[in-house]
Structure 1
Amino acid sequence: MTVLTVTPNPSLDRTYEIPALVPGGVLRADGDRVDPGGKGVNVSRAVAAAGHATVAVLPVGGPEGALLTQLLAELGVEVSGVPVAGSTRVNISLTEPGRALTKVNAPGPELTADESRALLEAAAAEAVNCGATWLVCCGSLPRGVPSSWYADLVARSRTEGVRVAVDTSGSAFAASLAARPDVVKPNAEELAEFAGRSLATVQDAVKAAHQVREAGAGAVLASLGATGQLLVDDSGTWFASAPVATVRSDVGAGDASLAGFLTAGGGREEALASAIAHGAAAVQLPGSRMPTPRDIRPETVTVTTDVPFDLPLSHNVNGAV
């Protein structure tokens, strides 16, 4: 198995663990770390941590881009970099015990039309060259890249017989559906945005997932925060949950979950179980560290077709993932 990820707007993610966030104060961190960042990058890191082959296609600019490439190589991720003039962005995360994460995401470089085209060509060619089992389109599109960019890549890849997963939001997410990706991975907020209404219960999320499928997605793997996860495809609907005792950071947890889904063998139930087990493991790790097989606790996972439709959607991070 080889998973090819495409991250048009990657980052270096610097995380500080602080006792408390005090606006206007001088804060002293209890710990800090720098990780390769960006949704597709995180998926590649999780795939590599699980012992599978992966290639990350991404624009690389400035010393930050060089460091990102170096850190990924150290983690066993092969990089197919496309040089760009702007520097790779740096994001900052502040974690406080028992509180929600505070994150500052930089906008990243603006790509020229030539750079955007070169990135698309590199991703499409690499999918064929590496014999990708999955091509994963992840994250926000950088400035200068049209919202149809993912749709173009999905269409080209499916023509070559490559299965495609998409994890993005807004207009890029909506545009990608027309190209019929095999699976998409929205969270509750992204489902609500697409559906054009608020979601209060699991049943609301299921209805929104069906709308996404009607627009072109083959399957919908939906993260519902602390409530759990849904999988909706042409063969049915599954619901999964996994308790989490302590949350250290939820940065990259959804990306770890997608990696768990894509690399799982067996049927849909096994893939969903793997997805939520990876996500639950990730939130208990510092920064955006990806779980390894020893971090996964499959015995804590519950997967059922008896979907709890009336269950309210929770925004509490200290629970199931």
Structure 2
Amino acid sequence: MSVKLSAERGCELAQVRAPVRAGGTAHRAAASPRVVTLTPAPSIDKVYFLDRVQAGQVNRAKGVATYLAGNGVNVARALHLAGNAVSAVLPVGPEGIAAIGCDDGIMQVACGVEVGRPIRTNVILVDESGLTTNINALPAPLDPGQWDRLCQAAIGEVRRIGADWFVLGGALPIDRSTGVAVDLRPLFRTMRSLGVSVCLDAPVDEAWSGWTDAGQPDLVKPNAAELALMAGIPVLSLRDAVEAAALVRARGVETVLVSLGPDGILEVGGQGALWACGPHAQVVNTTGAGDAALAGYLSVSGRDGRGQGQRYEALRRAVSWGALAVQQETTMLPHAIANAPGILIGLPEGDHRLS
């Protein structure tokens, strides 16, 4: 049945079709962290697969894939697949999410808020070596009322599922009334008042500058280049990354989770620094690997604190899911998610140079 999602119907659909782990139990699903994601600027990703991308010439694609995407959408899709209770809030056009024509599980947990304009389209070029070129359309600006409806929908979903985590993922739209990116601080303060941990995974130049401590999230997930921008120092080694993460934490962030690509994942928080890395993975498409890693980390990271065992498992899943993601043609993980063998977790090797 085709369902047109609006601000009201979208949240209703998310409620009546809550995810359940295949072959699992209600108790097991309830014990896992519950997550609400907000993707202010989702996209329809069109992925073109080519032998080689040749600039300035006609390129013939061997295949094309089209699907709904965006950082928060990708995180929610992976968590839903793993059996976590999740709700994905996003703006949609008058046609609703169902008009995209694909249902890979994300439609079951989507809460669409109509904003009167279609979802943007991004183009991704992937060559046979795994080199990925992204051409991303700019997010459409939002009126203050539209942004407020998105925020209220996210707050409502946090209350409805009793969320442990709220994730703001992806590019930020421009607020028409100010001409700059929408202000996240009021939303984050409300989430904290509800006892929800806040994760930010947005472009650094859009979301980081000018914040006060009251608006800082509990968790950020930069890559090495973004971490360097956040801290204002070069990040060329693990020692640099630990130092930069400490500078970010000094501004009020509790935990910095650094995605290092082939060099693994670095976590720097109140319990110190841990580095997790695994065997080399065959790269097919790097788009969405960081989202998959974040989903793996959040899938076992509740708001009531973690013992050392949970901390290790969160990092193990982050590395495993990220490695699994780069081996897929799209950002959608396969139905069988399992930890990869050979993952090492320990103190960072300070002299290790980043790839």
Same fold (TM over 0.5): yes
- The Cα offsets for residues 68-100 of structure 1, whole Å up to 9 and x where unpaired, read as 5x6357446411111112221011101011152
User: Would the aligned equivalents of 2:38 and 2:168 in 1 still touch at CA under 8 Å?
Assistant: yes
Unpaired runs of 5+ residues, structure 1, are 315-321
Q: 1:255 aligns with which of 271, 280, 291?
A: 291
Q: TM-score, normalized by length of structure 2?
A: 0.82
SS at match of 1:71: coil
1:144 aligns with 2:175: yes
State the partner residue of 2:322: 279
Which residue number in structure 2 is paired with residue 228 of structure 1?
A: 264
| Alignment partners' CA distance in 2, 1:243 and 1:31 | 29
For residues 79-90 of structure 1, what are the structure 2 equivalents within 5 Å?
A: 79-90=110-121
Match of 2:222 among 186, 196, 199: 186
Displacement of 1:144 after TM fit?
2.1
Moved more, 276-285 or 113-122: 113-122
Supply the distance in 1 between the matched residues of 2:54 and 2:102 (Cα, whole angstroms): 31
Equivalent pairs counted in the alignment come to: 311
Answer yes or no: is the 8 Å Cα contact 2:220–2:255 preserved in 1.
yes
Of the structure 1 ranges 10-19 and 129-138, higher mean CA displacement relative to structure 2 is found in: 129-138
C-alpha distance after superposition, 1:89-143 (max 9, x if no partner) = 0111010111520110011321112111211122122211221121111111012
Contact 1:141 1:172 in 2 (8 A): yes
Change (3 A) 1:72 1:176: farther
1:203 aligns with 2:203: no
Deviation of 1:181 after TM superposition, in Å, equals 2.2
The 10-residue stretch of structure 1 (169-178 or 158-167) with the greater mean CA deviation from structure 2: 169-178
Secondary structure class of the residue paired with 2:148: helix
Task: Find the aligned partners of 2:244 and 2:53 in 1 and give their Cα distance.
Answer: 36
Identity of aligned residues (%): 37
1:49–1:74: structure 2 CA closer, same or farther, 3 Å change rule?
closer
Aligned to 1:220, what secondary structure does the other structure show? strand
- Out of 334, 338, 344, the position equivalent to 1:296 is 338
Instruction: Write the letter of the residue equivalent to 2:132.
Output: L
Aligned equivalents of 2:213 and 2:294: distance in 1? 18
State the match for 2:44 in structure 1: 12
State the alpha-carbon separation in 2 of the partners of residues 91 and 176 from structure 1: 32
- CA–CA distance in structure 2, aligned partners of residues 66 and 210 of structure 1: 44
Distance 1:80 1:176 in 2: 30
The amino acid across from 1:275 in the alignment is A
Q: 2:200 aligns with which of 159, 166, 171?
A: 166
Shift of 1:290: 2.1
Is residue 2:149 matched to residue 1:128? Answer: no
Root-mean-square deviation over aligned CA pairs: 2.0
Listed as ranges, the gaps of 5+ residues in structure 2 are: 1-32, 302-308
TM-score under structure 1 length normalisation: 0.90
